[in-house]
Amino acid sequence: MSEAKKLHVALFPWLAFGHMIPFFELAKLIAQRGHKISFISTPRNIQRLPKVPPNLAPLINLVSLPLLTVEHLPQNAEATTDIPSHKTPYLKIAFDGLQGPLHQFFQTSTPDWIIYDFAPHWLPPILANLGISGVFFSMYGAWTLSFLGSSTSAMINREDSRTRPEDFTVPPEWIPFPSKIAFGLHEAKRAFGDHIEVNNSGFSDVFRLGSVIGGCNVIAIRNCNELESNFSRLVGELHCKPVVPIGLLPPADFDGSSDQDDMWLTIKEWLDKQNKGLPFFWALRKRENSVKLPDGFEERVKGRGTVWTSWVPQLKIMGHESVGGFLTHCGYASIIEALYFELPLIMMPISIDQGLIARFFGEKMVGIEITKDEKDGSLRRESVAESLRLIMVEKEGRGYRDKAKEMKKLIADKDMHDRYVDHFVEFMQNHRVA
Ligand SMILES: *[C@@H]1O[C@H](CO)[C@@H](O)[C@H](O)[C@H]1NC(C)=O
Ligand SMILES: *[C@@H]1O[C@H](CO)[C@@H](O)[C@H](O)[C@H]1NC(C)=O
């Protein structure tokens, strides 16, 4: 038997670091297996990526495509972190302008496969023309993909029996197994404005998703069958596509002592001094529209809590022995990191996809969601305190803490996650179109 062909794989994530980073992790894992990578984004995003490890540098080509200037989009804005969320539609318009430069790139360099995100609805026909195979790498859990639409064509043509926000507060009829995963009413109302109805980027997110799923050869999801398999199987059935779990991409080997920068030393000194109890470390990234602390808040909590408004080394903080729980907005990557360190979750989802992630991990009993007002999504301070006490202190919360410990075993099983990546790469080797 001849050795399987080495591949050239291009990756093309949406312009958000929550997407670019997992794509970049996947790129490194594929390169580690000896395949050539073209990682495609825009100049400032490429500059802001983590460093490519020297041993992989010969295999990883970072490709900068210029981003279109778009009215209402601030200069130099190339990722969602650069703009307030209401400007995201303009970033999508600029992103859609990458179609030309990407086509040019393909003319000089033809990859075997391209791994792409939810946004480039225009990409599948281009790939079909050039004989390049496509992977849709979903940043959304299989539960979210299942929830959003019953088929590719239903998503593209907006055929949905659900016509009012209330219809999205129960699991859709096409989910054949028991599940409670659905939107809260306040989430459903927001979803209608932004994601489900056409928005001012010209195309709704559901349309974009339907188009990229319809045009791909395979759907890759950040998942493993040991975490869940019912939704993954259902996604394949609904969309008539193979679904390949690529493992959970757990944090790479972590050495708490390696990076002795000043910021970490300051944080560590503070963490070292904390007693068991409920002191808190709050990483509060300041963006437009973000939380404003009440006057005098930091003075009042002095000795019990600390607030950092800059980037912080989340993995190191989570790994510190003083940390016993994670209050989170429910990004999927952050949840995987927290569970890697056995931290039970106090969940406060912000975006609507995060709401579905919170329901999923709520069903897994590794944490609880802070109760919100069903109609407007507002929070009461008492419910925040109750949830924290339950998860961190009370006897009744023990089950959640134990479940989080159990989940750690699954997430930290490096060999298992490696096998998922192996299997995914073999799939690409065996199923090329051209
Ligand atoms: C998966 O679906 C089957 C029925 O198809 C059901 O019996 C089982 O409980 C489901 N598993 C989970 C974890 O929900
Ligand atoms: C698009 O979404 C934003 C934010 O939700 C909203 O303010 C705007 O009115 C929407 N535009 C359209 C055309 O629906």
H, E, C per residue of 352-395: HHHHHHHHHHHHCCCEEECCECCCCCCECHHHHHHHHHHHHCCH
Q: How many angstroms is it from 235 CA to the middle of ligand 1?
A: 15
Taking CA atoms only, the protein residue closest to ligand 1 atom 3 is 177
Based on the fold, state whether residues 234 and 295 are members of the same structural domain.
no
Assess if residue 256 is contained within a domain. Answer: no
pLDDT at 168: 92
Based on the fold, state whether residues 214 and 281 are members of the same structural domain.
no
Assess if residue 255 is contained within a domain. Answer: no
Taking the CA of 189 as reference, the closest ligand is: 2
Tell me what the pLDDT averaged over the chain comes to: 90
* Cα 85 to Cα 366: distance, rounded to the nearest angstrom: 30
Q: Does residue 433 carry a pLDDT above 70?
A: no
Taking CA atoms only, the protein residue closest to ligand 1 atom 8 is 177
Which carries the bigger pLDDT value, residue 258 or residue 425?
425
Span 410-434, average pLDDT: 92
- Which residues, in sequence order, are bridge partners of residue 60? 37
Assess if residue 1 is contained within a domain. Answer: no
Q: Does residue 144 carry a pLDDT above 90?
A: yes
- Radius of gyration (C-alpha) of the chain in whole angstroms: 22
pLDDT at 255: 47
Could you give phi then psi for residue 397, rounded to 5 degrees? -90, 0
CA distances to 58, 299, 422 from 54, rounded to whole Å, are 8, 45, 22
Based on the fold, state whether residues 170 and 221 are members of the same structural domain.
yes
- Number of structural domains in the chain: 2
Q: Which CATH number fits the domain that encloses residue 387?
A: 3.40.50.2000
Span 147-154, average pLDDT: 93
Query: Among 110, 109, 108, which residue's Cα sits nearest to residue 131?
Result: 110
Taking the CA of 181 as reference, the closest ligand is: 1
42 neighbors 72 (Cβ within 8 angstroms): no
| Strand 218-221 with 133-138, pairing | parallel
Based on the fold, state whether residues 268 and 217 are members of the same structural domain.
no
Q: Which domain holds residue 107?
A: 8-250+413-430
Assess if residue 180 is contained within a domain. Answer: yes
Based on the fold, state whether residues 266 and 245 are members of the same structural domain.
no
Q: How many angstroms is it from 195 CA to the middle of ligand 2?
A: 9
Based on the fold, state whether residues 170 and 283 are members of the same structural domain.
no
Taking CA atoms only, the protein residue closest to ligand 1 atom 4 is 177
Q: Does residue 313 carry a pLDDT above 80?
A: yes
Span 361-390, average pLDDT: 92
Q: How many angstroms is it from 355 CA to the middle of ligand 2?
A: 20
Span 85-107, average pLDDT: 93
Assess if residue 384 is contained within a domain. Answer: yes
Per residue in 355-368, pLDDT tens? 999 999 999 999 99
Q: Is the CB of 202 under 6 A from ligand 2?
A: no
Per residue in 108-122, pLDDT tens? 998 999 999 999 999
Q: How many angstroms is it from 219 CA to the middle of ligand 1?
A: 22
Taking the CA of 352 as reference, the closest ligand is: 2
Based on the fold, state whether residues 96 and 148 are members of the same structural domain.
yes
Based on the fold, state whether residues 403 and 422 are members of the same structural domain.
no
Q: Does residue 197 carry a pLDDT above 60?
A: no
Q: Identify the band that residue 290 occupies on the pLDDT scale cut at 50, 70 and 90.
A: low
Q: Does residue 294 carry a pLDDT above 90?
A: no
Assess if residue 2 is contained within a domain. Answer: no
Based on the fold, state whether residues 330 and 399 are members of the same structural domain.
yes
Assess if residue 105 is contained within a domain. Answer: yes
Q: Does residue 312 carry a pLDDT above 70?
A: yes
Residues having CB closer than 6 A to ligand 1 are 177-178, 230
Adjacency order of strands within the sheet including 133-138: 60-64, 36-41, 8-12, 113-116, 133-138, 218-221, 243-245
Judged by average pLDDT, the poorest of 11-25, 75-89, 218-232 is 75-89
DSSP states of 274-287: PPSSS-EEEE----
Q: Identify the band that residue 100 occupies on the pLDDT scale cut at 50, 70 and 90.
A: very high
Q: Identify the band that residue 195 occupies on the pLDDT scale cut at 50, 70 and 90.
A: low
Based on the fold, state whether residues 208 and 296 are members of the same structural domain.
no
Query: Exposed, middle or buried, 278 (CB in 10 Å: 0-12/13-18/19+)?
Result: middle
Give this prediction's pTM: 0.91
Assess if residue 3 is contained within a domain. Answer: no
Based on the fold, state whether residues 108 and 236 are members of the same structural domain.
yes
Based on the fold, state whether residues 325 and 182 are members of the same structural domain.
no
Taking CA atoms only, the protein residue closest to ligand 1 atom 6 is 177
Per residue in 9-43, pLDDT tens? 999 999 999 899 999 999 999 999 999 999 999 99
Q: How many angstroms is it from 177 CA to the middle of ligand 1?
A: 6
